[in-house]
Structure 1
Amino acid sequence: MKGPLFYSKILLFGEYGIIKDSKGLSIPYNFYNGALKTDGNTSEVAQASNTGLKKFALYLSNIDSEIVTFDMASFLKDIEGGMYFDSSIPQGYGVGSSGALVAAIYDKYANNKITVLENLTRDKLLSLKRIFAEMESFFHGKSSGLDPLNSYLSIPILINSKDNIEATGIPAQQTDGKGAVFLIDSGSVGETAPMVSLFMESMKQEGFRKMLKDQFIKHTDACVDDFLKGDVKSLFKNTKQLSKVVLNHFKPMIPQQFHELWKNGLDTNDYYLKLCGSGGGGYILGFTEDIEKAKQSLKGHNLEVVYNF
């Protein structure tokens, strides 16, 4: 038995900013996916996942029933039967591994679930986001609920503010375009919780809060607008500014070995780097107007293209 597939996601813009009401844009990334399975697999990985599901089930049985309830009898029976989450999504890489699992569990076991097929009003989207935030908190301590939402719906999501989200369309990819959004593997895993606490700690300083509002959020919002309008020229201008702000003010979230590469991109304009998720490791997101040039500049690093301009 194998459940439906749930895909990974990439938050193109909005990391950290959305905690403080910046815009955000999240897109599904079909290269990685996961599904619930009960096929008698007894490998170490399957058993570890099964043990994780037991803990998750316990957590879900205590969620406020006003928010969501589950068919716990079926869920526990399937766990006893060896169910596990079979996933190719790397953990701690900022592409939504726990989000896909949360979406799969909700899809299969939630009572009165909101389905992908119905008319998704803003209220329904917000309800889903709230449910998913509650469910995913088990993994991160605090979750916005966006990763599972993206995984569950498998469509791009535009975050206008905390209480205003909508499904959106993004400009069609230019398959022969030279410009690209790409991922670089930092070679290490990033932990979300410590990075978020670091950010919250910095938020206590007035200077940091001012920088966030006047620079980080300003450029993030502009990038989202440019991307959706397909204004590539303005997008690269704003992405460069955003990359610069991150290098200056979010250094601890950038793996040490990337500080130089980050600066090199800004100096040469061959590419601009930004955080993918909370940083600290995992993937780093890159934007370039010329993918061949970026590959030359980043020799020795494997570039995974996720979108072409």
Structure 2
Amino acid sequence: MPDYGPYRRPQDIHFNDIPWKSIKKFVPPFLIIAFVIITGYTAFYTVKANEEAVILRFGQYIETVGPGLHTKVPYGIDKVLKGEVKRIYNEEFGFRTRQNTLSSMIDYEYSDAKEERLMLTGDLNCAEVHWVIRYKIKALEEYFFNVRNVQETIRGVSQAVMRTLIGDRSIDEVLTIGRTEIEQKSREDLQRILDSYNCGIDIQTVLLKGVDPPPPVKDAFNAVNQAIQIRDRIINDAEGQKNKILPAAEGKKQQVIKESEGYRIRRVNEATGDVKAFLAVYEEYKKAEDVTRRRLFLETMSKVIPKCEKLYIIDKDLKGFLPILGLNAEDVGK
């Protein structure tokens, strides 16, 4: 094998055989190119449309920037931490949604499921509560630096708030009419506590996915709920009957009251008129007693005589005339 050309073995090449003078002329351009590449790679960064980024310089927070192309101090002096501030994050309690390539599946039997969902109500009953929290990042610098583990903080605070609200209400409220109030109040309380921690989190919604009695007593609860529904239906029917009957009775009552009032007014007016007539006659009587007495007698007789079947006019001084007419005391009385 020759001792020159491409066929020389590496062990046959000596250090002095390397053409250093030829290589040295390529070193400066190579270093310049490497410097430019490294500088450009470490000095420029891009923030996506749904993201924000915080800048750290020697580990200290400098600023928060929005989407777009930005520059920073290169060579690792400035560090960039990005976060999706427009994304809606979910935290599930009492269940887990398992995703696969074709569909999703809800898992109620993961390791901490029972501890999360089993709660005690205010009337010392048990309820299994499943709920979801949806939140966004509203202050990225607070989210990264003020709390060690934001996710665990949200989960711990949410469970404490939910247990407090469930413990303040009866099982009937939790299962039926109180769910909307619990959702609203839990969101307000959770937001207030997280704001006190400066977590940089904005709670969008708290949604109760399900509130159920524990399986051992579920049948009994269903029977009670069915009885309550029957009771409510009977009460509603009775209320309907009451609402139908009471207005009619009220109308009848008002009619009777108005008729009685009219009768009273009429009788009072009649009595007042009679009194006025009597007083007028009495005044005339006092002016001429004999004349008035005779007039009253004649007026009375004019009313009585037409009603008599038989009429006998007898002189008061005539004696023994009644037997002749065949009258007795009873007939005279008539």
- What range is the shorter-chain TM-score in? under 0.3
Q: Which has the larger radius of gyration?
A: 2
Report which of the two has the higher share of helix.
Answer: 2
TM-score by length of 2: 0.19
Give me the TM-score of the superposition, normalised by structure 1. 0.20
